[in-house]
Amino acid sequence: MHPDAPFEKNPTQDRPATRPDDPASTERAIGRHRAPERQRRVGRTLLTSTPVRVALATGVTCCLGVAAFAGTRDDADAAREPVAEALAERAVDDDRASRSLDRAASPSPTLSPAPTPKPTPSATRKAPRKPAPPPRPRPVAGLTQAQMDNAKTIVDVGVELKMPRRALVVAVATAMQESRLHNLASDVLPESSRYPHQGSGADHDSVGLFQQRPSSGWGTVRELMRPSYAARAFYEALRDVPGWQQMSVAGAAQAVQVSAFPDAYAQHEKLATTVVAALT
C-alpha cells in the first residue's frame, strides 16, 4: 500500500476468523465475569439446602426486628418529649410557688370545715375576782366615818368570838370612854407612831382603841395598834371575869380596864347600844 494512500481498516481482514487456542483467551472466557456451569450448579444447591434457608430466614427476621425496634424507640422518644416538657414546666411553676411569700392555700372543695373545739371547763373558767371590800357602815348617833369604822371592827370581832350582844355594848362603851373610838398612838412610845393611827395620847404607855399598855402584858406595841387585835384582847379579858353577865355595863368595863374613873363608862351605854344595833 502506498504510504500516501488513505488509511482504511477492514475489520474482517484484521480479525481472524477463528479464535486461537490460546490459554489466556480461554481463561478470560471463564473468568470472574462468567461463572462456569459447575459453579452455577453448586450455587443453586446451596440456596436450596435447609440450613442455608434457615440462616437466611433468621437474618431477615433479625433485620426486620431491628428496624421495628428502631421505629418503636423513635416513637417512644417522640411520645416522651411532650411529657418531659410538661414536667419541666411544672417543676418551674412549683419552684416559683415555693419561693413566693404571697401565696395562700385554697381550701379543698371536698373537705368539710373542721368542727370548732368545745371550750374545756378550765378554759371557760374565769379568774377569781378579788372579793369586794364590805361596804362601810353608815355613821349613826353623831359619829364620824372613822369612828363608825372602828366600832364596826369591835362588833365584828365580838360576833366572830360568839360573844353575846351585851358584851358588844360593853366593848363599844369602853372604847368610847378610852379613845373616843380613835386608834391612838402614844407620845411616850415613839414606836407607836410608825403604825397607822388617828391621833396620839399621853397617858403613860397606853395605845390603841382601848388604851391598853404593853408594859401590863396586853401585847406588843405593833399588836395593840391593830384595832382587831385590841378588840380581841378586850373580849378575852372580859370572858375571864366571873359573872360579868350580871354586872352593869360600867361594872363589866371597869373589871377589865381597872380605870381610875370607874363610873365614866356608864355615860356611853345608851350610845353604844344604838351603834351596836345599827351594826348587827
The per-residue pLDDT for range 45-90, each reduced to its tens digit, is 444 555 445 455 555 444 454 444 445 455 555 555 555 565 555 5
pLDDT at 6 over 50: no
Global pTM?
Answer: 0.55
d(CA 11, CA 5): 18
What confidence tens digit (pLDDT) does each residue in 167-176 have?
Answer: 999 999 999 9
Contact present, 277 and 168 (Cβ < 8 Å):
no
Q: Containing H/E element for 200?
A: strand 200-201
More confident residue, 194 or 48: 194
For 225, counting Cβ atoms within 10 Å of its Cβ (0-12 exposed, 13-18 middle, 19+ buried), the class is: buried
pLDDT at 114 over 60: yes
d(CA 30, CA 10): 29
For residue 209, the model assigns a pLDDT of 97
Residue 249 pLDDT level (bands cut at 50, 70, 90): very high
Fill in the DSSP letter of residue 184: -
For residue 80, the model assigns a pLDDT of 57
Least confident among 111-115, 162-166, 183-187: 111-115
What confidence tens digit (pLDDT) does each residue in 119-146 have?
Answer: 666 555 677 787 777 788 999 989 999 9
Joined together, the cell numbers standing for residue 227 give: 384595832
Joined together, the cell numbers standing for residue 181 give: 373610838
